[in-house]
Amino acid sequence: MRIIASLRTVLLALVVLTVATTSFAQIRISVAFGPPALPVYEQPICPGDGYIWTPGYWAWDPDAGDYYWVPGTWILAPEVGLLWTPPWWGWSDGAFLFHEGYWGPHVGFYGGISYGFGYFGVGFVGGRWDHDHFFYNRSVTNINVVNIHNVYNETVINNNVTVNRVSYNGGPGGIEARPRPEEEIAARDRHIEAVAAQNQHVQAARGNRELRASVNEGKPPVAATGRPGEFSGHEVVASREAGAPYHPPANRGENPRGGSASGPAVHPNELPKFERPAPPSTGDVNRDKKYQQQQEKMFAKQEQERQQLQQKQEQEHQQMERQNASQAQRQQTEQRHQQQTQQLQQKHVQQQQHLQQKQQPPKQR
């Protein structure tokens, strides 16, 4: 039997549009609400020569319908001369889009986000390669000089970077930064995807319930680790505090029908009702009236499209009942229905934004 999530819950849990990728650092998923602030934590000591710091970040788990913290950790560079460009979230076309991190000869754009420990929004000042050795900047990285001798001290001055705990670029409250010419060049460099140890580290974080934002409320118990995948022991660093007060999506987990409400809507009748904005008031009566008429026409058409898709999916459910479909077939159908519903919702959001943009009064010259 299908589980119909409450409308208010689904409004804020609507997430996950998987996008195919053909190269590194491309968008992988989009989410309707932004990640929490970056937690406050200390950097664990570097475990040895050749390790490069990869900062922690919030990732998205579509199965749990929740963000989870990927602890910062030290990773051996896959090749001499390569540096890490961290992944980042950015607002675009009504959703938060995730951009993969990558290894390359230069650090590219990572949203202007200040991850700390050398990643202050632009480039990387935590160390540099000198021929086949990596030298660490002791002013921003935690190095034991007894074990590592290739170090230097260079004070970092962030004149053009606003240091805060915001974890995404663009959108309401996001970092306002655009790629510099050198970062655009770096994006076209030869790239290497995250190494196996990094991928295993991410999967371990995803499987740790305590690292979910809804559980730790923006203050993960494991904020950073000395080595990838090691979430216990003396090299583990906990968060000192959340980067900002945690505000979960309203009514997350509320489901009077007893099902899980953490995932996205599967069917159109689970989507939230259309929220009509306040009547326009630009001072131009004719312009406002025309916009309101266009808006009502758009909403009527979108509601019709929802009903049509709902009827089509209901017919497929009835057909499965008649054919006594297997559990695997039912699951495949539900996955297809979920994708159809998400695509329809994404289309409608973009239509609404496009209409709102057209309503903006012309700029005064």
8 Å CB contact between 268 and 309: yes
Give which of 2, 36, 29 is closest to 15, Cα–Cα.
29
With residue 135 as reference, give the H or E element that holds it: strand 133-137
pLDDT for res 308: 92
* 87: pLDDT strictly greater than 70: yes
Amino acid at the residue 97: L
Q: Which residues, at least 6 apart from 270, have a Cβ–Cβ distance to it below 8 Å?
A: 4, 5, 7, 10, 341
pLDDT for res 69: 97
pLDDT for res 15: 40
pLDDT tens-digit readout, 182-216: 999 988 888 999 999 999 999 999 999 999 999 99
Distance CA 349, CA 342 (A): 11
Q: Look at the block and give the residue holding tokens 């986000």.
A: 113
The region of weakest confidence among 26-35, 97-106, 199-208 is 26-35
* 1: pLDDT strictly greater than 90: no
Distance CA 352, CA 215 (A): 33
Q: Where are the domains of the chain?
A: 7-237, 268-359
Distance CA 230, CA 277 (A): 48
Supply the Cα-derived Rg of the chain in whole angstroms: 24
Q: Look at the block and give the residue holding tokens 């995948």.
A: 229
Q: How confident is the model at residue 126 (pLDDT cuts 50, 70, 90)?
A: very high
pLDDT for res 314: 85
pLDDT tens-digit readout, 286-328: 888 888 888 888 888 988 998 899 889 888 888 877 887 776 7
Q: Look at the block and give the residue holding tokens 């009903």.
A: 307
Chain center to CA of 326: 35
pLDDT for res 161: 52
pLDDT for res 362: 55
Distance CA 50, CA 166 (A): 29
pLDDT for res 84: 97
* 365: pLDDT strictly greater than 90: no
* 363: pLDDT strictly greater than 70: no
Q: How confident is the model at residue 121 (pLDDT cuts 50, 70, 90)?
A: very high
Residues 110-127 have a mean pLDDT of 94
Q: Look at the block and give the residue holding tokens 């030869």.
A: 190
Q: How confident is the model at residue 4 (pLDDT cuts 50, 70, 90)?
A: very low
8 Å CB contact between 125 and 154: yes
Residues 22-44 have a mean pLDDT of 76
Task: Fill in the DSSP letter of residue 35.
Answer: P
* 251: pLDDT strictly greater than 50: no
8 Å CB contact between 159 and 34: no
SS3 229: coil
Q: How confident is the model at residue 282 (pLDDT cuts 50, 70, 90)?
A: low
Q: Look at the block and give the residue holding tokens 């099902």.
A: 259
8 Å CB contact between 105 and 189: yes
pLDDT for res 156: 78
Chain center to CA of 112: 15
8 Å CB contact between 73 and 224: yes
Averaged pLDDT of the chain: 82
8 Å CB contact between 93 and 99: no
pTM of the model: 0.64
Residues 150-160 have a mean pLDDT of 78
pLDDT for res 2: 42
pLDDT for res 16: 39
The most confident of the ranges 10-14, 54-58, 60-64 is: 54-58
The token duo for 51 is 């390790």
pLDDT for res 212: 95
Torsion of CA 211, 213, 218, 224, to 10 degrees: 20
Distance CA 4, CA 257 (A): 7
8 Å CB contact between 160 and 114: no
pLDDT for res 267: 81
DSSP bridge partners of 68: 59, 212
Give which of 124, 106, 116 is closest to 181, Cα–Cα.
106
Environment class of residue 357 by beta-carbon count within 10 Å: exposed (0-12), middle (13-18) or buried (19+)?
A: exposed
Q: Is the dihedral of CA 2, 3, 7, 9 positive or negative?
A: negative
8 Å CB contact between 107 and 124: yes
